Amino acid sequence: MISEESESGNDTVSLVPANKENVDTLANLNAVLFPITYQKKFYIDCLACGPYTVMAQLNGSIVAAICCRLETHQDLGVRLYIMTLGVLAPYRRRGIANALLGHALRLAQQDPRIVDTYLHVQLGNEEAIAFYRSNGFELIATIKNYYKRIRPADCFVFSCNLRNWQPRNSCLNHA
C-alpha cells in the first residue's frame, strides 16, 4: 500500500508502510544503514506502532526508512520514540528524511495521546544532529556509555514538542 506519493523531475518517491510482508526488506535496509543488528523485538515494536514506521521508495527501490515505537510513560503519557531513521548514501540531501520524519510527526500531532517525540543520536553523528536540529529538535540530555557495541558509546537525547513542530520542505509535496 502506498500512502503518499510525489513526482519531482523524473523521480517518484512513495511512502510504504511497514507490515509483516515487507518487514524483511526493512531489516535488510537497516543492516546496510546502521552498525547495529536490530533483533526481532525491534521489528515487533515497529509493526505494533501501526502507520508510523514507513519506508521510502524511489523509482521502485526502497532507499530509506523511519522506525518508530510508541511508549506509554506513567507520568508523561504516550511518547513517540524514533528508533532509527536512515537514507541510503546516494539518496541523501533530497529531502527524503524530511518526508519520513514529517509523515511520522504529522500523524503524532493528530493523536491527542502523544505528548512529544524523542530519540538518541550517537555523539559525533554530525549529519543526524544537523538534521534533527533543522527539524526543530532540541538537545535535552547526554547519556554516557549508552551504546554497548559501538564507539563512541555516548549519545545525545533530542526531543521535539509536537505542538510547535512545523514540517520542512521534503521530496513529498505536503511533507
Minimum CB distance to ligand COA smaller for 76 or for 130: 130
How far is the CA of 171 from the CAs of 29, 43, 53, in angstroms? 20, 26, 18
**Residue 155 dihedral angles phi and psi, to the nearest 5°:** -140, 160
What's the CA gap between 119 and 15, in Å, rounded?
21
Binding positions for ligand COA, rule: CB under 6 A: 33, 84-87, 92-98, 121, 125, 127-128, 130-131, 134
Of the candidates 38, 81, 91, 118, the residue annotated as catalytic is 81
The pairing of beta strand 155-161 with beta strand 77-87: unpaired
Closest contact distance (angstroms) between CB of 72 and ligand COA is 22
Closest contact distance (angstroms) between CB of 44 and ligand COA is 19
Examine the residue annotation and report whether 81 is marked as an active-site residue of this protein: yes
Closest contact distance (angstroms) between CB of 112 and ligand COA is 27
